[in-house]
Structure 1
Amino acid sequence: MAEKQDIHAVEAALGKAELMAALSPATRTKLAKQGQPIVVESGKLLFAKGDKGDALYVLMEGEIEVRTSTEAGKDVRIAALKPYAVIGEMAVLDGGVRSADIAAIRKSRLLRIGRDQAIAALESEPKALLKLIAELSKRLRHADSALEDAHTLDLGGRLALRLLDEAGDGATVTLTQTEIARRIGASREKVNRKLHEWVDEGWINMGRAGIKLVARDKLKALIQESRAT
């Protein structure tokens, strides 16, 4: 159970989650009280592919990575989820097993909502169920797009896309070069070489604070050029 002193904060967080926002305030309050807060340390799994889908999770703080593995044992990153993403809803809906590994990129705090409680909430409010279907469809499109980019973009295109995605509305990316390389499926050496080329071009700056995007338009143009070739 979530502690009483945290209930209001949990309710507010649930109101920001795309799926949970479609629920009535009364249902969100009920789920906040039923939910179990958990913490996943950086690099640790929340659950693994093939695990039983006995709960869904709302990411309160931190960042979570959805990934799978190739036959050779290499991790393939599918997506990164940030607050207030709902995680694990697919297996909760169909009662099946987890379709991917879910790991914490950094220390993350989540609210665990049992399958029975989640199903009861969705059955009582069909609008939320429709919202969930729409969210699943959006994630499927995103996964398809990510797979297409992984196969069609060259190193520069994948790197530019990752920098823009990580920066969001900001101008700085704080990921290490090793982590960036892992996320785009390249070696750190190649990433480092490309970044220094862009420093020379005046597209980015690199320092202790991270990678600062100076010419976003150049990076966007590079992505389009990579897709066209």
Structure 2
Amino acid sequence: MTSADKLLAQNPVFAVLPQPKRDALLQEAIKRHYQKGETIAMVGDFWPYLFIVAEGGVSARKSSVEGRSLVVTTFEKGDIFWGLAFFYEDMTMPVSLEAIKSTRIYLWSREQMHPLLEKEGAFAWELARMMIKKMARASEILEEMAFQPVAGRLAKLLIETSSNSAMGAITRSLTLDEMAARIGSTREMVCRFLHRFADDGIIDITRTEFRITDNGRLAELARNSKG
């Protein structure tokens, strides 16, 4: 089994399809490669595609007229997403999609997938279940933005990021602007709270990384800062 075969076989939506149909989908897929920072789709685009991340990662972003950016969610290897026009042809993208590192994706158009969705009930059902999960996550994000102060959102981001890093260290390649975009704040507020966390002995800041020194207090901040 090739890496592309495994990619589809391990995804709960594609996994319900028989092997021959997964093989056919891989043959029909539109394959795209993007460098870090490249745009895949823009807010307002009519983008009738469903995609799976084969390598790298993709962020979904919203921007304000003042130029502030919010990372609504991210998609890693094996994750799938779609433009609204994949289901409703007159609906535009509510977010921009951007590669967060060197990224490969496989895309299928509305026209390519429509016959499969009509014929394969299990496939359509699993895609519907995936949509419900995405909607539930969007609701969680809105709740966090509405009721959780910046300190709590930043604490949660640090915990999540450090859990995916070697030895719990967070490299400073994750910039203040990127942190601000992920928690819906400004770089100035992020900088202020990072230094407050450092002054309180919760994190250590060096020229190259942030390191959590008091997991308990940081977790408490993330839990207790909800309104």
Scaled by the length of structure 2, what TM-score is found? 0.85
After TM superposition, list the pairs within 5 Å mapping 1:75-224 onto structure 2: 75-88=69-82, 90-97=84-91, 98-168=93-163, 170=165, 171-174=168-171, 175-207=174-206, 210-224=209-223
C-alpha distance in structure 2 between counterparts of 1:68 and 1:156, whole Å = 21
1:68 paired residue among 62, 65, 75: 62
Paired letter, 1:29:
D
- 3-state DSSP class of the match of 1:94? coil
C-alpha distance in structure 1 between counterparts of 2:179 and 2:133, whole Å = 24
The verdict on how the C-alpha distance between 1:14 and 1:206 changes in structure 2, with shifts beyond 3 A counting, is farther
C-alpha distance in structure 2 between counterparts of 1:155 and 1:204, whole Å = 16
Paired letter, 2:180:
A
- 3-state DSSP class of the match of 1:65? strand
C-alpha distance in structure 2 between counterparts of 1:206 and 1:20, whole Å = 43
Report how far residue 71 of structure 1 moved: 4.8
Q: How many equivalent residue pairs?
A: 222
C-alpha distance in structure 2 between counterparts of 1:78 and 1:182, whole Å = 8
Match of 1:47 in 2: 41
How large is the RMSD of aligned CA atoms in angstroms? 2.4
Structure 1 alignment gaps of length 5 or more? 1-6
Report how far residue 11 of structure 1 moved: 1.4
C-alpha distance in structure 1 between counterparts of 2:216 and 2:64, whole Å = 34
Report how far residue 129 of structure 1 moved: 0.9
C-alpha distance in structure 1 between counterparts of 2:129 and 2:67, whole Å = 32
| Deviation string, structure 1 residues 80-102 (Cα, Å, up to 9, x no partner) | 11111112154313334333221
C-alpha distance in structure 1 between counterparts of 2:17 and 2:209, whole Å = 39
Identical positions, percent: 24
| Deviation string, structure 1 residues 40-91 (Cα, Å, up to 9, x no partner) | 2222221123322332111111121112233545433211111111121543
Scaled by the length of structure 1, what TM-score is found? 0.84
Match of 1:9 in 2: 3
